C-alpha cells in the first residue's frame, strides 16, 4: 500500500482516484470545490481541507488540474511543495505547457523533490476503466519507481526527459482535434448525400478510418450527446499550446491551425463547456444554408 495524495478530483481526477483506491492504496483527496472530494469518501478516500494538508506524509502526490497556472498555484502559492516529503514524487497528470512542466520540476528539484510530468489520454472512459495512455517525462529511475502505482490507471510509457510528456500530450491533442473535425465533416457530407449517419459509421468500422474518435465521438455526434467528457475550452487550451510550441520551433501546421480556429470560434460562441465532439455543431452552423447537411435522424 502506498500513501497517495490526489489533488484535483474533477471529471478525470475522481475516477483516477477511485482506481487507486481500488488497488488498495491509501488516498487523501483535495479539490477546490470540496464537495467533489467529499464524494470520494464513500469509496474510502480521506478528504483534506487544503492541498498542503492532503500531501503531508504522502509518498506519491498526483495533480490533475485545469492548467499550468492552477498547478503552480497549488504547488507553490498554497504550500504543497513545502509540505511534501523530500523523498516523495510529484506526478502531474494535468495538461500544461512543456516549459511550465520544466519550470515546476526545476523548482521542486531545488527542494529535493522528484517530479514527473505525466499527462493522460483516454478521457473519462479510460480513467474509469484503467486504460489511460500515460505519457511520462522525467528521470527514468523515478518513473520506474512509480510504475506499480501507475499500473491501475493505464499504460505507462517513458517518453523522454522532463517536459516530454507534455509535448507528447500536445501531439496527441493535435490528432484528437483534427480527427474530431474530420469525423464531423464526414457526418455532414453523409447526411447531405442522403445516407444515414449511424449506418455510415457502422459500415466503415474496421476499415482504415477506424479510431477511438470514430467509436466514441462519432457515437456522440449521432446521438447528439455533447455533455462534456472533454470540454471544448480545454481542447482549445491545448491547441493554443501546440501553436506556441510550433511557433517556437519554426513549424507550420496548417491542419492544426484550421481546427484551432474552429474551436476558438466555437468556444467564443458560448460552447466552452460543450464536449469537444460538439465541434460538429459549429460546422453545422457554418453550413446553415444547407440543412440537409445536419442529420437525417432529427
Q: Which of 36, 169, 199, 237 is catalytic?
A: 169
Distance, CA of 13 to CA of 19 (rounded, Å): 10
Strand ranges, E, within the chain? 3-7, 26-30, 46-47, 60-63, 89-92, 114-117, 120-121, 132-137, 154-160
Contacting residues for 191 by C-beta, under 8 A, at least 6 apart: 197, 292, 293, 294, 295, 296
For residue 205, the tally of other CB atoms under 10 A from its CB is 13
Q: Which SS3 state, helix, strand or coil, does residue 231 take? A: strand
CB neighbour list of residue 247: distance below 8 Å, 6 or more residues apart = none
Active site residue 169: yes
CB 92 within 8 A of CB 118: yes
CA 75/CA 81 separation, integer angstroms: 5
Question: Are 176 and 276 in contact, with CB atoms under 8 Å apart?
Answer: yes
**Residues with a known catalytic role:** 169
Amino acid at each position: 500500500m502506498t500513501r497517495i495524495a490526489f489533488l484535483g478530483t474533477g471529471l478525470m481526477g475522481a475516477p483516477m482516484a477511485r482506481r487507486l483506491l481500488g488497488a488498495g492504496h491509501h488516498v487523501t483527496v483535495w479539490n477546490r470545490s470540496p464537495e467533489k472530494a467529499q464524494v470520494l469518501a464513500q469509496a474510502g478516500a480521506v478528504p483534506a481541507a487544503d492541498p498542503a494538508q492532503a500531501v503531508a506524509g504522502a509518498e506519491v502526490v498526483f495533480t490533475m488540474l485545469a492548467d499550468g497556472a492552477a498547478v503552480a498555484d497549488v504547488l507553490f502559492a498554497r504550500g504543497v511543495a513545502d509540505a511534501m516529503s523530500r523523498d516523495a514524487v510529484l506526478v502531474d497528470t494535468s495538461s500544461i505547457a512543456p516549459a511550465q512542466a520544466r519550470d515546476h520540476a526545476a523548482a521542486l528539484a531545488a527542494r529535493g523533490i522528484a517530479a514527473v510530468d505525466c499527462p493522460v489520454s483516454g478521457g473519462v472512459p479510460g480513467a474509469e476503466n484503467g486504460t489511460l495512455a500515460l505519457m511520462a517525462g522525467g528521470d527514468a529511475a523515478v518513473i520506474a519507481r512509480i510504475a506499480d502505482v501507475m499500473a491501475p490507471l493505464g499504460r505507462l510509457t517513458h517518453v523522454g526527459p522532463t517536459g516530454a510528456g507534455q509535448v507528447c500530450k500536445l501531439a496527441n491533442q493535435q490528432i484528437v482535434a483534427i480527427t474530431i473535425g474530420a469525423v464531423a465533416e464526414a457526418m455532414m457530407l453523409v447526411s447531405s448525400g442522403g445516407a444515414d449517419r449511424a449506418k455510415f459509421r457502422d459500415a466503415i468500422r474496421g476499415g482504415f478510418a477506424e479510431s477511438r474518435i470514430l467509436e466514441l465521438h462519432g457515437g456522440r455526434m449521432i446521438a447528439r450527446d455533447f455533455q462534456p467528457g472533454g470540454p471544448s475550452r480545454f481542447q482549445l487550451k491545448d491547441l493554443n499550446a501546440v501553436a506556441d510550441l510550433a511557433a517556437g520551433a519554426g513549424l507550420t501546421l496548417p491542419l492544426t491551425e484550421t481546427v484551432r480556429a474552429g474551436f476558438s470560434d466555437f468556444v467564443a460562441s458560448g460552447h466552452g463547456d460543450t464536449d469537444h465532439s460538439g465541434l460538429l455543431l459549429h460546422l453545422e452552423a457554418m453550413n446553415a444554408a444547407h440543412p440537409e447537411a445536419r442529420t437525417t435522424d432529427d
